[in-house]
Amino acid sequence: MTSKGYQLLAKLRARRFGHIGILGGSFNPAHQGHAHVADTAISVLGLDAVWWLVSPQNPLKSQKDMASVTDRYASAKAITTTCRHGRRMVVSRLEEAIGTRYSADTVKILAKTCPRLRFYFLMGADNLASFHLWHRPDIILRHTIPIVVNRPHYRAQALGSQTAARMKRIAPRRLKYTAKGRHVKNRYWGFIEARQISLSATAIRAQRKD
């Protein structure tokens, strides 16, 4: 872990309380679909902030066509300026600083470092459909509350996935909506039926090559 990593963790540890969304990804590049997930989570759940964690290298994605972490960080920073809740968006290279490659390792460190914070793991429905392929998804489910925002053509696949079935066993209560600033004390997970955006980083990169 770098000195920057220790500094970031010390800063996080200083927070006394809060409800924090975690939006991890390659952001290669970041786009309005990411902004939509972050904004929707804040609007529906009343989160205090969403932390955009720019991955040094997503283990499930090829390095081919992968921009530098500096460029992807700048891309995420630029997109957050367009968010409705831009002041609550925090873009970070935390994973690079603390030396983690997997979301499971990152959230485990965050949960240990910031025991008074409640973390919500944000993802699109396409991610839920393949979540069982991630590294140690059980760790993520243990330390965070999964919040899924629907995406075009993925609803049935996501809700019929292995992870959705597992979450029903772990947390039978599925959150449909909770007023801003109000949070359920008991364990739950959320599938938010929001306005759907079909943008993808893959499609954007393909357009740039044309």
Q: Look at residue 2 in the predicted model and tell me its pLDDT.
A: 75
Q: Look at residue 15 in the predicted model and tell me its pLDDT.
A: 76
97 pairs with which residues across the strands?
Answer: none
Q: Look at residue 179 in the predicted model and tell me its pLDDT.
A: 40
192 pairs with which residues across the strands?
Answer: 149
CATH 3.40.50.620 at 3-209, yes or no: yes
By percentage, how much of the chain surpasses pLDDT 70?
Answer: 80
- Report pLDDT digits (tens) over 35-71: 999 999 999 888 999 999 999 876 656 567 789 999 9
Name the residue among 205, 203, 194 with its Cα closest to residue 36.
194
Average pLDDT, the chain: 82
Q: How confident is residue 208, by pLDDT bands cut at 50, 70 and 90?
A: low
- Report pLDDT digits (tens) over 152-207: 778 888 888 998 888 877 765 555 544 444 444 445 788 887 665 555 544 443 45
120 Cβ neighbours under 8 A, 6+ residues apart: 19, 20, 21, 22, 41, 45, 47, 144, 145, 146, 147, 190
Q: Look at residue 74 in the predicted model and tell me its pLDDT.
A: 96
